[in-house]
């Protein structure tokens, strides 16, 4: 909890102008009867970011997105989308927002292209004269050109998911909201969605993408928020989120005991799995110690170890992975792709 407070304080210090936020919520809450699905969250999604909205199953991601898009009413708090109040000014924001929400619905008896034409014609801002071009371009972007004439009922889950993304991309958007866009996709499809998100972001569109699979989106995000049982437990730039964990020194050596003594002399207390044999055929051990920012430099540690006769096989200074951080924040295992 203290970590949450720290991150929130940092966000305050950054003092982001509300006008620079694509999505901003204050104390946003959604209850279903006695159950609180979203519990007073303060989201701050900077314009131009690729924002990962992460959290395990049931943590409130879809519910938050439904409220943001006006598909469900909040129980409390407030939200702004592209600077417009939700829900009172939604009509002003929505033409500039593309969205893919859990299980997009399509007419099964219409082809993929015809489904998109139908959706496009329902958009009163879309010029009918250029409809076919928009539909063809959207299908091309998601790699469905070859299946344009195929009936949607014959689409695989992954193809339906792509058609949903195509629908969200029919017109240029300032904000793209994707709820678990990689659901049902194979690794290749997942890579394609990632590169599509990168391309959309490169055009200046803010992308808000939810996932329960950290590894699937972490590599393309500039920012992230982590949900846990309806609450926001961390939020910020990826660097901030990574940086809040202390650096650790990892050493592999056959001289574990000596290494530990020498580290202690340098003021580093080995906390890692000292004595644990990493290679059953050798006597090597992995030694791990936290390193304060004002602690000894990495090269001085190596020099001291070698001087003391510690044979260093590998040496590494690293921040804990995002995954380590998120597991620590949510107190439970995060589904990890692969
Ligand atoms: N219409 C509803 N009525 C009652 N409870 C609901 C409703 N929609 C969601 N919930 C509950 O709210 C909680 C949050 O659900 P939500 O779908 O927002 O989670 P999620 O983070 O999107 O999960 P997932 O990763 O599985 O998609 C869950 O406990 C869910 O059962
Ligand atoms: Mg969901």
Domains of the chain: 3-242 (3.40.50.300), 247-318 (3.30.70)
The pLDDT assigned to 178 comes to 96
Structure confidence at residue 331 (pLDDT): 67
| Closest to 115 measured CA to CA, from 182, 164, 157, 156 | 164
Nearest C-alpha to atom 29 of ligand 1 is from which residue? 58
Is the previous residue joined to 87 through a cis bond, with omega within 30 degrees of 0?
A: yes
* Phi–psi pair at 324, nearest 5 degrees: -60, -45
pLDDT for 243 equals 66
The binding-site residues of ligand 1, defined as CB within 6 angstroms of any ligand atom, are: 32, 35, 37, 55, 57-63, 212
Least distant ligand from the CA of 61: 1
Instruction: State which ligand 1 atom lies nearest to the alpha carbon of 66.
Output: 18
Atom 25 of ligand 1, nearest CA residue: 57
C-alpha of residue 178 to centroid of ligand 2, in Å: 10
Ligand nearest to the CA of 225: 1
Ligand 1: distance of its center to the CA of 247 in Å? 36
Compute, in angstroms, the gap from residue 36 CA to the centroid of ligand 1: 10
Backbone angles phi, psi at 90, to 5 degrees: -55, -35
Distance CA 232, CA 225 (A): 7
Question: Ligand 1 atom 3: the closest Cα is on which residue?
Answer: 32
Contacts of 134 (CB under 8 A, 6+ apart): 116, 120, 126, 170, 171
**What is the predicted pLDDT for the residue at 278?**
52
Strands 50-54 and 206-211, bridge-based pairing: parallel
* Cα 58 to averaged position of ligand 2 atoms, centre (Å): 7
Q: Could you tell me the end-to-end alpha-carbon distance of the chain, in angstroms, rounded to an integer?
A: 29
Of all protein residues, the one whose alpha carbon is nearest to atom 17 of ligand 1 is 62
Residue 210 CA to ligand 2 center (angstroms) comes to: 8
- Cα(32) to centroid(ligand 1), Å: 9
pLDDT at residue 99, as a whole number? 94
Atom of ligand 1 lying closest to residue 56 CA: 25
The pTM of the full predicted model, rounded to 2 decimals, is 0.80
> Whose alpha carbon is nearest atom 27 of ligand 1?
57
Rg (CA), the chain: 24
Specify the ligand 1 atom closest to the Cα of 72. 1
pLDDT in tens, the chain (338 residues): 334 444 444 444 455 677 789 999 999 999 999 999 999 999 999 999 999 999 988 999 999 999 999 999 999 999 999 999 999 999 999 999 999 998 778 999 999 999 999 999 988 888 999 999 999 999 999 989 999 999 999 998 888 989 999 999 999 899 999 999 988 888 888 888 898 899 999 999 999 999 988 877 888 999 999 999 999 999 999 888 876 666 778 888 888 889 889 988 988 887 655 445 555 555 677 777 777 777 888 899 999 999 999 999 888 887 767 777 777 777 665 554 33
Question: What is the reported pLDDT for 58?
Answer: 92
């Amino acid at each position: 909890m203290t970590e949450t407070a720290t991150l929130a304080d940092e966000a305050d210090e950054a003092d982001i102008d509300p006008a620079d936020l694509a999505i901003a919520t204050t104390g946003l809450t959604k209850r279903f009867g006695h159950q609180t699905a979203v519990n007073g969250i303060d989201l701050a999604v900077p314009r131009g970011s690729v924002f990962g909205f992460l959290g395990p199953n049931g943590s409130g991601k879809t519910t938050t997105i439904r409220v943001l898009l006006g598909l469900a009413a909040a129980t409390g708090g407030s939200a702004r989308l592209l600077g417009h109040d939700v829900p009172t000014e939604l009509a002003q924001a929505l033409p500039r927002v593309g969205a893919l929400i859990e299980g997009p619905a399509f007419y099964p008896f219409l082809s993929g292209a015809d489904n998109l034409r139908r959706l496009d014609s329902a958009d009163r801002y879309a010029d009918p004269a250029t409809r076919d071009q928009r539909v063809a371009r959207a299908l091309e972007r998601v790699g469905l050109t070859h299946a344009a004439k195929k009936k949607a009922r014959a689409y695989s889950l992954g193809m339906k998911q792509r058609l949903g993304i195509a629908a969200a991309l029919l017109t240029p958007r300032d904000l793209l909201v994707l709820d678990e866009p990689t659901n049902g996709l194979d690794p290749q499809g997942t890579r394609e969605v990632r590169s599509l998100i990168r391309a959309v972001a490169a055009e200046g569109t803010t992308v808000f993408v939810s996932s329960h699979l950290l590894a699937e989106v972490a590599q393309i995000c500039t920012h992230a928020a982590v949900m846990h049982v309806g609450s926001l437990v961390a939020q910020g730039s990826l660097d901030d989120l990574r940086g809040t964990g202390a650096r650790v020194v990892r050493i592999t050596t056959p001289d574990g005991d000596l290494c530990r003594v020498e580290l202690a002399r340098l003021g580093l207390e080995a906390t890692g799995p000292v004595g644990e044999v990493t290679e059953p055929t050798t006597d090597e051990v992995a030694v791990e110690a936290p390193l304060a920012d004002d602690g000894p430099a990495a090269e001085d540690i190596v020099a001291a170890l070698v001087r003391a006769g510690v044979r260093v096989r590998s040496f590494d200074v690293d921040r804990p992975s995002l995954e380590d951080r998120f597991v620590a924040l949510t107190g439970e295992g995060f589904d990890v792709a692969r």
